[in-house]
């Protein structure tokens, strides 16, 4: 694996000499605006606005001038934008900062190299505890430039899409930034996905180039990532080259199409001219699950996404220059994109790349890391917190956590017990716990307790306050706006914001249908929420057939698709059920084909193998219940609502069963469920 080299200062020298006039102009502007430490209201001239709530009101009622000022201040532009926004939610049209030109990698790297080249950008917390490696901004820029030049040499152009199938590591970050530098889009695929899931994403993105590692190392276990890529690219005719980085010493089989990444990088120059990108050019695709059909490649663009990631990173977590930010999410998810990579780097921060698991080599791993790296803001998932609670407080208390100032939570609702433990045991009651609600679609955090006035209350388990520029609303089942407080409904957004996704790759129609048609004029999140008497938001969970297993989003339809491919299976219905560690677990109802005789243990083995091969391990069913038939409506639709109630043991809540084709099916399902427990 590429290690930092202390001797090359060529890039810094090049910057000082002046790489190109326009480029230096960008750097100077970046520096001067960057150092204005004060938050927006006064410095940007929002007259008469003081305090957090007034600023929030202003950001919503004067969105144009708010985002105009923030975008000019926070980003370094090659060419300033002509218009702040051209959005119409009723049409699903979202455009920000048109006419502007910029380069995201310049914003994340060069401007910091110009002012403080030796500041640490990345701390790679390798799986092997205590072997962390630091990379300065200068080193990360060099790595990025070499990679950018390499991609260019292999024909990757502006507008192409590079698939990155790597664990969280510096070369993965440099690969993302190298794409941004030359104007290619990236498509990071979570390295836990199977070869089929990877192939599907490569094909949809039509990548000519894949970047991977020989092997991954996580929790002391080896994952044969190159082998997974080999299997995937067999069904991906667009792939022309695969670059393979060496995470371990192990030599892997290389074909004519494969190239050793580090060796190739050594041939490249450390200066790489950044492409001037339009604000609305694609920065990346990221595939995520929906309630129906195949995973969708959500598209994020350059300026709006970066601005929103940077702003939320700074203000939700109270990030200050010199802090160490520890987001433990994998870069394969949006959290890794926005809060391991883009937000912190745009802010010139020091960001931790966590390669391991919360329990490796023991359940003290996170807190040992906090002590060793002096982490100030820690950002993790409730599922890990719930897991760690089980092991006891001693694993936390063993380590010095005095560096911590803020604790973040993301990915799923955080239950009160987990919130209290995080707050009391991990944070010693001195660190605000920020439960952050957002989605791949939203690009960055939309609802969180911070920023707020210093002494403002935080209610356990509540995401609470909309971020600047965010206007959440609740809708009833008829699509009417719920205006009062102390009410629940479908969570929608009434106004566009710069970080929101622009489309689904190759399927704009699906984008419109999923997010903009359910409540015309609004962006529909797919989640339900409760608004308290005080006006605070609490997320109650998905309203569609998407479930959340250990913070990983998965459509039940995707799992059913695989289960139904099993030769013994006639049909199936998959639902989520409440699981005390994972948040939700996977429960599959399976109807066998007539005449099939199979042991339940064999069926379970077969289905687990199939799901982990076709999707990923986390999507495997925890329970498989055999059923003679599934409860259906007269029009043949499976009544999942009934199945959910049975599994939640809420038989009083079964509701109206009059549309059922055959009510006896429900009784059978209830009996089968009781037997399984
Ligand atoms: C960032 C991320 C999005 C879905 C989202 C919601 C759930 C995320 C949450 C939360 C309750 C929170 N979710 N954060 N639910 N409280 N703080 O996780 O993106 O993978 O796209 O998942 O996750 O259901 O709709 P993504």
Q: For ligand 1, atom 16, which residue shows the shortest CA distance?
A: 413
Q: How many CB atoms lie within 10 A of CB 31?
A: 14
The secondary structure of residue 638, as a DSSP letter, is B
Q: Distance from CA of residue 672 to its chain's centroid?
A: 37
Sign for the CA dihedral angle at 450, 454, 458, 464 comes to: negative
Q: Distance from CA of residue 644 to its chain's centroid?
A: 27
Look at residue 146 in the predicted model and tell me its pLDDT.
98
- Contact assessment for residue 4 and residue 136, using Cβ atoms and an 8 Å cutoff: yes
Look at residue 10 in the predicted model and tell me its pLDDT.
55
Centre of ligand 1 to C-alpha 412, Å, is 5
Angle at 529 between CA 526 and CA 533, to 5 degrees: 160
> Residues 371-398, buried b or exposed e (16+ Cβ, 10 A)?
bebbbbbbbbbbbbbbbbbeeeeebbee
Which residue from 553, 554, 582, 583 has its CB within 8 A of the most atoms of ligand 1, so it is best to mutate?
553
Centre of ligand 1 to C-alpha 445, Å, is 10
Cβ of 217 closer than 6 Å to ligand 1, yes or no, is no
Rg of the chain (C-alpha set): 25
- Contact assessment for residue 378 and residue 352, using Cβ atoms and an 8 Å cutoff: no
- Provide the phi-psi class of 486: left if phi over 0, else alpha when psi is between -120 and 50, else beta: left
**What averages of pLDDT result for each successive group of 10 residues across the chain (677 residues)?**
60 46 37 34 61 91 93 95 98 98 98 97 98 98 98 97 98 98 98 96 98 98 98 98 98 98 98 98 95 88 98 96 97 97 98 98 98 98 94 97 98 92 97 97 98 91 96 95 96 98 97 97 96 96 91 91 93 94 96 92 96 95 94 82 92 83 88 90
Cβ of 439 closer than 6 Å to ligand 1, yes or no, is yes
Centre of ligand 1 to C-alpha 323, Å, is 26
- Paired tokens of 408: 């973040």
Centre of ligand 1 to C-alpha 516, Å, is 19
What number of residues does the chain have?
Answer: 677
Cβ of 553 closer than 6 Å to ligand 1, yes or no, is yes
Q: For ligand 1, atom 23, which residue shows the shortest CA distance?
A: 411
Which residue from 382, 386, 537, 539 has its CB within 8 A of the most atoms of ligand 1, so it is best to mutate?
539
Closest CA to 467 of 501, 487, 442, 488: 442
- Paired tokens of 569: 């299976």
Phi, psi of 601 (to 5 degrees): -65, -40
Cβ of 408 closer than 6 Å to ligand 1, yes or no, is no
Centre of ligand 1 to C-alpha 438, Å, is 5
| Global ipTM | 1.00
Sign for the CA dihedral angle at 296, 300, 306, 310 comes to: negative
Sign for the CA dihedral angle at 218, 224, 228, 233 comes to: positive
Look at residue 26 in the predicted model and tell me its pLDDT.
37
Residues 6+ apart with CB under 8 A from 487: 474, 530, 531
Cβ of 410 closer than 6 Å to ligand 1, yes or no, is yes
Tell me the C-alpha distance between 163 and 203, whole Å.
10
Look at residue 255 in the predicted model and tell me its pLDDT.
97
Cβ of 288 closer than 6 Å to ligand 1, yes or no, is yes
Cβ of 339 closer than 6 Å to ligand 1, yes or no, is no
Q: For ligand 1, atom 26, which residue shows the shortest CA distance?
A: 439
Cβ of 527 closer than 6 Å to ligand 1, yes or no, is yes
Look at residue 34 in the predicted model and tell me its pLDDT.
27
The secondary structure of residue 171, as a DSSP letter, is H
Q: Distance from CA of residue 360 to its chain's centroid?
A: 23
Tell me the C-alpha distance between 522 and 116, whole Å.
43
- Contact assessment for residue 414 and residue 461, using Cβ atoms and an 8 Å cutoff: yes
Tell me the C-alpha distance between 323 and 377, whole Å.
8
The CA-to-CA distance between both ends of the chain, in Å, stands at 48
pTM: 0.91
Phi, psi of 588 (to 5 degrees): -115, 130
Centre of ligand 1 to C-alpha 674, Å, is 31
Phi, psi of 271 (to 5 degrees): -115, 130
Cβ of 268 closer than 6 Å to ligand 1, yes or no, is no
Centre of ligand 1 to C-alpha 463, Å, is 11
């Amino acid at each position: 694996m590429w290690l930092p080299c202390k001797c090359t200062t060529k890039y810094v020298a090049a910057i000082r000499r002046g790489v190109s006039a326009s480029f230096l102009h960008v750097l100077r502007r970046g520096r001067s605006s960057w150092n204005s430490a004060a938050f927006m209201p006064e410095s940007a001239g929002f007259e008469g606005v003081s305090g957090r709530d007034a600023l929030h009101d202003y950001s919503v009622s004067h969105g144009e001038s708010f985002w105009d000022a923030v975008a000019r201040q926070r980003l370094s532009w090659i060419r300033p934008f002509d218009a702040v926004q051209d959005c119409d939610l009723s049409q699903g049209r979202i455009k920000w900062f048109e006419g502007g030109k910029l380069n995201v990698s310049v914003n994340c790297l060069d401007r910091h190299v110009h002012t403080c080249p030796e500041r640490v950008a990345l701390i790679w917390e390798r799986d092997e505890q205590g072997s962390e490696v630091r990379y300065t901004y200068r080193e990360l820029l060099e790595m990025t430039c070499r990679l950018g030049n390499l991609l260019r040499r292999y024909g990757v152009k502006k507008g192409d899409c590079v698939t990155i199938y790597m664990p969280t590591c510096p070369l993965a970050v440099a690969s993302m930034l190298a794409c941004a530098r030359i104007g290619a889009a990236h498509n990071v695929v979570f390295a836990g996905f199977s070869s089929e899931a990877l192939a599907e994403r490569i094909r949809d993105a039509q990548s000519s180039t894949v970047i991977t590692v020989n092997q991954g190392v996580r929790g002391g276990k080896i994952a044969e990532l190159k082998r997974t890529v080999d299997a995937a690219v067999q069904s991906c005719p667009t792939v022309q080259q695969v670059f393979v980085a060496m995470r371990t010493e192990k030599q892997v089989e290389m074909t004519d199409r494969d190239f050793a990444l580090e060796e190739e990088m050594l041939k490249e120059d450390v200066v790489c001219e950044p492409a001037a990108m339009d604000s609305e050019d694609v920065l990346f695709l990221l595939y995520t699950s929906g309630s129906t059909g195949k995973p969708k490649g959500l598209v994020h663009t350059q300026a709006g996404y970066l601005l929103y990631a940077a702003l939320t990173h700074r203000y939700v977590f109270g990030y200050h220059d010199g802090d160490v930010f520890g987001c433990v999410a994998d870069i394969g998810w949006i959290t890794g994109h926005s809060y391991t990579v883009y937000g912190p780097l745009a802010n010139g921060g020091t960001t931790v790349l966590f390669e391991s698991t919360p329990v490796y080599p023991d359940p003290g791993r996170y807190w040992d890391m906090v002590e060793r790296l002096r982490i100030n803001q820690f950002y993790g998932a409730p599922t890990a917190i719930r897991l760690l609670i089980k092991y006891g407080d001693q694993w936390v208390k063993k380590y010095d956590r005095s560096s911590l100032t803020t604790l973040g939570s993301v990915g799923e609702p955080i239950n009160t017990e987990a919130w209290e433990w995080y707050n009391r045991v991990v944070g010693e009651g001195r660190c605000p716990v920020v439960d952050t609600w957002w989605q791949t679609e939203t690009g960055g955090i939309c609802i969180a307790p911070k920023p707020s006035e210093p002494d403002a209350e935080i209610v356990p388990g509540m995401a609470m306050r909309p971020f600047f520029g965010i206007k959440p609303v609740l809708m009833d089942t008829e699509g009417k706006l719920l205006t009062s407080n102390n009410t629940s409904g479908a969570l929608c957004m009434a106004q566009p914001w710069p970080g929101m996704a622009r489309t689904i790759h190759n399927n704009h129609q699906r984008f419109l249908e999923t997010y903009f048609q359910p409540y015309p004029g609004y962006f529909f999140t797919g989640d339900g929420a409760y608004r308290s008497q005080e006006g605070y938001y609490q997320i109650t969970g998905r309203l569609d057939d998407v479930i959340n297993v250990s913070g990983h989003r998965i459509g039940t339809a995707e799992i059913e698709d695989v289960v139904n491919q099993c030769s013994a299976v006639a049909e199936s219905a998959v639902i989520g059920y409440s699981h005390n560690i994972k948040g939700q677990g996977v429960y599959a109802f399976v109807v066998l084909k007539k005449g099939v005789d199979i042991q339940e243990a064999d069926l379970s083995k077969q289905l687990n193998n199939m799901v982990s091969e076709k999707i990923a391990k986390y999507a495997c069913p925890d329970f498989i219940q055999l059923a003679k038939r599934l409860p259906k409506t007269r029009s043949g639709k499976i009544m999942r609502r009934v199945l959910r109630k049975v599994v939640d043991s809420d038989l009083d809540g079964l509701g109206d069963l009059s549309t059922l084709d055959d009510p006896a099916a429900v009784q059978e399902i209830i009996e089968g469920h009781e037997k399984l427990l």
